[in-house]
Structure 1
Amino acid sequence: MITAGIDVGAKNVKIVLFEDGEVVARGTGLMEMDREQSIQIAYQATLKDNDIQEQAVERVVATGAGAKSVVFATDRSTLVTCISRGVRAANPSIRTIIDIGANDAMAIKCDETGKVVDFAVNEKCAAGAGSFVEAMARAMEVSLEEFVAFSLASTKSIPINAQCVIFAESEVVSLIHEDTDRNDICRAVHDAMAGRIASMARRVRIEPPVAVTGGASYNQGMLDSLTKELDIALTRTDNAEYVAAHGAALLAAEGRGSA
C-alpha cells in the first residue's frame, strides 16, 4: 500500500510517499498565492518524477498550517503529532524536538513511549524562525549562504535587542552604518534568533537527546548559536524539512489521522 504525507507550510509544501515500511519518494514545491494549485503541482510532480500513478496512493494525511488546502486528503493531523511521529520513527530515543520553519518554531517533549507530553510554539512574530535570518541577509545585501559563512567567522558577540523583525532590521542597518564588522552582525542575528528559540524550548523542560528539525535547521550559524545558548548537544535529523510529511505518511499507513 502506498500512502502520502503532505506538510503545507508558509513557504513550501513537502511531500513524502511511503510503501511497505519505506520512503519511496520525496518532493517539494513553493507555496504561491493559490494554495490548492501549488499543492497539486507539487504532488503531481512528485508522483510523475517517481513513476507512481495517483490511483495507487490509497491514503493521504495532510498537516501544517495549510492542511485544509489539501482538498484530496483522506485525513488530517496536527503538526505536533506528525513531527514527533516522524522523528521517533528515525530515532526512538529522542525526547525533545525543536522544529524551526520559515515562519514558526516549536518545541515538543515526548515521554519514553513517544507520546507527546508537552509542546510550546514561538510568538506570532517571525523573529524566532528562518524568515528572520533571510530578512537580515537581504538588509545586508548578501546571500543566505554568505550570511551563514560570515557568522561562523565571527569572534565577537554583540547584542541585537529588538524583539520584532522590522525593528531588528533597523538595528542591523544602524550597525552597518557604524562600521560594525559584518561577521559579528551576522552572528548577532543568529544569537538573537537562538535566544528566542531557546526561551520557547525551555518552557517544555528540555530533556536530551534533542533533535532539531525543519528547513531552518540547515543554517549552521543558527545551529551553532542555539547549541551555545542551550549548552546541550543538538542532532539535526536526516531530511529535516520532510519530518512532518514523513510522520503524516506513517499515520496514513497506520490508518490514523485527526490526532
Structure 2
Amino acid sequence: MSESKKSEYWRWKEYNWKNPEIPDWHGSLVTAGVDVGSTSSQAVIMVDGQLYAFASMRTGADSPCSALDAMNWAMDGTGLAIQDINFTVGTGYGRVNVPFANKTVTEITCHARGANCIYGPTVRTLLDMGGQDCKAIHCDEKGKVTSFLMNDKCAAGTGRGMEVIANLLAVPIEKIGEMSFNIEEEPEPVSSTCVVFAKTEAIGLLRAEWSKEKVLAAYCAAMAIRVVRLLERNGMEADFAITGGIAKNSGVVRRIEKLLGMEALKSKFDPQIAGALGGALVARDLVEKKKK
C-alpha cells in the first residue's frame, strides 16, 4: 500500500450542506461563523438565525486559505458572495487568520453557544474535543460560559491523537468506534498520555499479537480516562454534551459515559460544526445589538 493511500485513514469525511427549507436569503439577516481548527475547518451560514448552509473540511497549511475555502464551499449553490454576509465571526485555533471576519471570538465561547443551539438550553457541562486540545466548559441556559478548564499542551486525548492511531493501524477513522467494541473483554488502557509514546506502545501490542480491535479499545479507554479527569476537575453538572470530531467516535464517547455514569446528549446535527455555528449566532447577536 502506498504512503499516500495509507495517509487517508485519518481523514473524516469532508462535506457541505444547504438547508432546502430556506429557498432564498435575499432581504434577510445573513451571518456566518468560521472555525479554523488545527486539523479541520468549518464554515456555517445562518439566515435570520436559522441554519442555512455549512461546510466541513480539512485545515490546510495556510489558515487564511483554509478559512476562505471552507466559506466558499459553504456558499456553493446558494448564490451568496462574502460581501452579501452582514457579519462574520472567526473562531478556533486560527481565528486571527480569517481575513474576511468582522470580529474574532474564542472557540470556548463559540462552542458553548453552538452546543446550546445544537443540544438545547439544558446543557450545563460541555466537552469540546478538538484536534490539538480538549476543554471542559460550564455554561448557563443561554450558552454563556461560566467556567472552563483546558488540558495541557499535548495531543493525547484529542482528535490528532486519534488520527495518529488510525493511520498507524490502517483503520478508517470513522470505523474506530465500532471496531473498539469488537473484543471479548475490555483490555487495560494504554499507559502513556503522550501520543508519541502511545504510538510506540501500540506497535508493541501489535507485535505481541494483539488484534487491531483490542489496541483500539485500549487507546479509546485511555482517551476516555484522560478527558473524564479533566471534566471532573472542572466539575460535572447535567445535562452533558460533547462537541468536536471525537464526539463522532462511539468508542471514546461510550467509555466516557460509562466512567461518568451519565449519557451525553444526542443530536441530528454534526457536533463538529458547533464552534462555527456558535460564531454565526454571536455574529447575529452583534448585528442585532447595533440596531438597538
Q: CA RMSD in A?
A: 1.6
The answer to whether the Cα contact below 8 Å between 1:158 and 1:185 also exists between their aligned partners in 2 is no
Identity %: 31
Residues 1:21 and 2:33 are matched in the alignment: no
The answer to whether the Cα contact below 8 Å between 2:114 and 2:143 also exists between their aligned partners in 1 is no
What secondary structure, in the 3-state scheme, does the structure 2 residue paired with 1:234 have? coil
1:173 pairs with one of 183, 203, 211: 203
1:67 pairs with one of 95, 115, 120: 95
Once residues 111 and 175 of structure 2 are traced to their aligned partners in structure 1, the CA distance between those partners, rounded to angstroms, is 30
Once residues 141 and 28 of structure 1 are traced to their aligned partners in structure 2, the CA distance between those partners, rounded to angstroms, is 23
Deviant stretches of 4+, over 4 Å: none
1:236-255 Cα shifts (integer Å, max 9, x gaps): 44221111111110111111
Deviation at 1:146, TM superposition (A): 4.2
Instruction: Indicate the residue corresponding to 2:239 in structure 1.
Output: 209
Instruction: Indicate the residue corresponding to 2:81 in structure 1.
Output: 53
Deviation at 1:38, TM superposition (A): 2.1
Residues 1:222 and 2:247 are matched in the alignment: no
Deviation at 1:113, TM superposition (A): 5.2
1:78-97 Cα shifts (integer Å, max 9, x gaps): 11111111111340011101
Instruction: Indicate the residue corresponding to 1:239 in structure 2.
Output: 270
2:104 pairs with one of 76, 80, 90: 76
One-letter identity of the residue aligned with 2:58: L
What secondary structure, in the 3-state scheme, does the structure 2 residue paired with 1:152 have? coil
The answer to whether the Cα contact below 8 Å between 2:115 and 2:143 also exists between their aligned partners in 1 is no
Once residues 250 and 95 of structure 2 are traced to their aligned partners in structure 1, the CA distance between those partners, rounded to angstroms, is 29
2:68 pairs with one of 32, 40, 52: 40
Q: Which runs of 5+ in 2 are unaligned?
A: 1-28, 288-292
Once residues 101 and 115 of structure 1 are traced to their aligned partners in structure 2, the CA distance between those partners, rounded to angstroms, is 19
What secondary structure, in the 3-state scheme, does the structure 1 residue paired with 2:189 have? coil
Instruction: Indicate the residue corresponding to 1:190 in structure 2.
Output: 220
Once residues 92 and 134 of structure 1 are traced to their aligned partners in structure 2, the CA distance between those partners, rounded to angstroms, is 32
Residues 1:151 and 2:180 are matched in the alignment: yes
Deviation at 1:230, TM superposition (A): 1.7
Q: Which runs of 5+ in 1 are unaligned?
A: none
Q: TM-score, normalised by structure 2?
A: 0.83
1:120-160 Cα shifts (integer Å, max 9, x gaps): 11111111102212211222233224433320212222231
Residues 1:253 and 2:281 are matched in the alignment: no
The answer to whether the Cα contact below 8 Å between 1:210 and 1:234 also exists between their aligned partners in 2 is yes
Once residues 86 and 206 of structure 2 are traced to their aligned partners in structure 1, the CA distance between those partners, rounded to angstroms, is 55
1:163 pairs with one of 179, 190, 193: 193
One-letter identity of the residue aligned with 1:32: G
Change (3 A) 1:6 1:199: same
Q: TM-score, normalised by structure 1?
A: 0.93
Once residues 102 and 114 of structure 1 are traced to their aligned partners in structure 2, the CA distance between those partners, rounded to angstroms, is 22
Once residues 64 and 286 of structure 2 are traced to their aligned partners in structure 1, the CA distance between those partners, rounded to angstroms, is 24
What secondary structure, in the 3-state scheme, does the structure 2 residue paired with 1:107 have? strand
Instruction: Indicate the residue corresponding to 1:200 in structure 2.
Output: 230
Change (3 A) 1:181 1:8: same
The answer to whether the Cα contact below 8 Å between 1:227 and 1:234 also exists between their aligned partners in 2 is yes
Once residues 145 and 87 of structure 1 are traced to their aligned partners in structure 2, the CA distance between those partners, rounded to angstroms, is 22
Once residues 42 and 48 of structure 1 are traced to their aligned partners in structure 2, the CA distance between those partners, rounded to angstroms, is 10
Deviation at 1:55, TM superposition (A): 2.1
Instruction: Indicate the residue corresponding to 1:116 in structure 2.
Output: 145
Deviation at 1:203, TM superposition (A): 1.6
Once residues 16 and 142 of structure 1 are traced to their aligned partners in structure 2, the CA distance between those partners, rounded to angstroms, is 29
Once residues 146 and 82 of structure 1 are traced to their aligned partners in structure 2, the CA distance between those partners, rounded to angstroms, is 28
Residues 1:9 and 2:40 are matched in the alignment: no
